[in-house]
Every structure is written in structure tokens, then in C-alpha cells.
A and B are shown apart, each in its own frame.
Chain A
Amino acid sequence: MNKEELTAQLKVIIKPYTTNTDAYENFTEDTDFIKDLNINSANLVDIILDIEETFDIVIENTDMERMLDVKTSVVIIETKLAAK
């Protein structure tokens, strides 16, 4: 799976937790989950769990700490997929 496909899949995962539709439509790799998409911090853990289920990977706490934006999340998912 390439970076574009991965980002597109992440965008689908994030949709139900987003309350800012404008920012969601303008989704880029710089999009911040909390600052831009207004995602409730209690739902960030749902995104992490959805990522684990969708890609069949395990996100460690040290990775989770940094998963506040699209770019970092994609890099982490890529690294985990490559290590499988």
C-alpha cells in the first residue's frame, strides 16, 4: 500500500469523529486531529483502535503519544506495516 492509499484509508477512519467538515474536506498531511478537525481527545483512542483493526497492527504507547496529525500517523502506520 502506498502513502496515498494509506492516507485515503486514514481519512475514512477519521470521518466519524470529525466535527469540522470544512477542515475535513481540505484534509492534507498537515491536518491536525484536534486543532483542525476538532476531534474530541477522548475519541483519539478510538482512532488508534480503528487503525489497529484496519491495518492489523499494534500501536505502542510511545507511538500513540505522537499521533496527533495525519503526517505522523501515516509514518507510524507505514513503519508498522513494513515490520510485519
Chain B
Amino acid sequence: MIGNDVIDIIQSRKESNWQRKGLLEKIFTAEEQLLINKALQPEIMVWLLWSMKEAAYKIYNRQTKIRSYFPQKLECSFRFQNDSYMSGTVICCGNRYYTKTNITNDCIHTIAVINPDHLKKVIEIEKKNISKDQYGIPFLTSVQSDSVKDVSVSNHGRFEKVVALSFNDCPLSEPD
């Protein structure tokens, strides 16, 4: 299973005021608010945490078919960080999701999976052969195996990201 979320920081400045009174308290847990307050760039931390929550929620929604707006129930923490990415976990209603976030040029992109080994198997694909099921959850129509049908699509501002899991023994698409 896979979920992803992309945020265009420039677009977010047009759409949202993260400093609005009462906003952070509605969305973030006490621990997350502490991370934001301590961050060198609080704005980036806000959207980094938000993209983790969104990416993880997409898997939760795929698993449970439950639609809900409960950002505080998606509890984020960080595992590892280097110059190119940050990895973390999001816990939601007893489920654990593993995330990896890249931050480059005003673009924050988080991928979430249920097995940390799958983070290495994420590929970006073209936006084609994608349908949605009755719950609005996207899947790939071009592949036979159930294990590689999951796809996640995220758009924001200037960016669009379409990601899937690629398992070596099961190619995502036949060569043309």
C-alpha cells in the first residue's frame, strides 16, 4: 500500500495562513506543536508534518474506507534525517505508517508505506491507466497483480506526483 502528498510552498502561502490563531492547535498534537515551535523554519515544519499526515491518511483511507478529518489522530515522529530526505512514522488508530520526505525548491513531497522496506521500492510513474474505485481511491488498471495495483496521486500548485510500488519480480507495465 502507498500514499503520497506533495505541497507547493508558494501555493500554500496563497491558500493558507498557518499562523492563524487556533489553527495549529486544531491540527497538531502537543508534541508536533513543540517540533514546530523549536524548528529553525517553522513554516517548513508545519507543511512537512502536514504532508506526512496526508500521505499516511491516504493509506488509512485505502485500508479502512473510512473518510474522516482527524489530523491530530495522525501522530507524526521522525526517525532519521540527512541532507536529502527525512524519514518518519505516523501512527493512526493503532496503525503504523513509514514515511520519507524530500524537501527541495519549495516542494515538500512525502511518501508513506506500511512496510519500511517498501520505501526503496517506490517509483514515480506517468499519470495514465489510473481509475478510481467506488470510494474514490485510485488504482492502476494496466497491471494484473493485486500487489502492484496501488497508486497514489497528489497535486498542489506547480507540482504533481504519481507514485506506485515496483516489485522486481512483477513489472509495473509491459514494454510498448
Residues of chain A touching chain B, judged by Cβ–Cβ distance below 8 Å, are 35, 40-46, 48-49, 52, 61, 64-68
Contact = CB atoms under 8 A, between A and B. Distances in A.
B72 interface: yes
Contacts of A45: 23, 26-27, 71
Which one of A40, A42, A65 has the highest number of Cβ atoms from chain B below 10 Å of its Cβ?
A42
15 contacts: A41-B54, A41-B69, A42-B12, A43-B16, A45-B27, A45-B71, A46-B16, A49-B20, A52-B22, A61-B70, A61-B72, A65-B70, A66-B69, A68-B67, A68-B69
A13 to B, nearest CB: 14
Contacts of A49: 20-23, 26
A12 B142 CA distance: 43
B174 interface: no
A64 B72 CA distance: 11
Interface of B: 12, 15-16, 20-23, 26-27, 50, 54, 67-72, 136, 156
Contact of A42 (B22, B50, B67, B136): B50
A65 B69 contact: yes
A64 B15 contact: no
Nearest to A47: B69
Contact of A64 (B21, B23, B70): B70
Contact of A35 (B54, B136, B156): B136
A48 B15 contact: no
Contacts of A42: 12, 15-16, 50
Contact of A43 (B15, B26, B68, B70): B15
Given A45-B23, A45-B27, A68-B69, 6 more contacts: A42-B50, A48-B26, A61-B72, A64-B69, A65-B68, A65-B69
B157 to A, nearest CB: 10
A35 B135 CA distance: 10
A68 B70 CA distance: 11
Given A42-B50, A43-B15, A48-B26, A67 B69 contact: yes
A44 B54 CA distance: 13
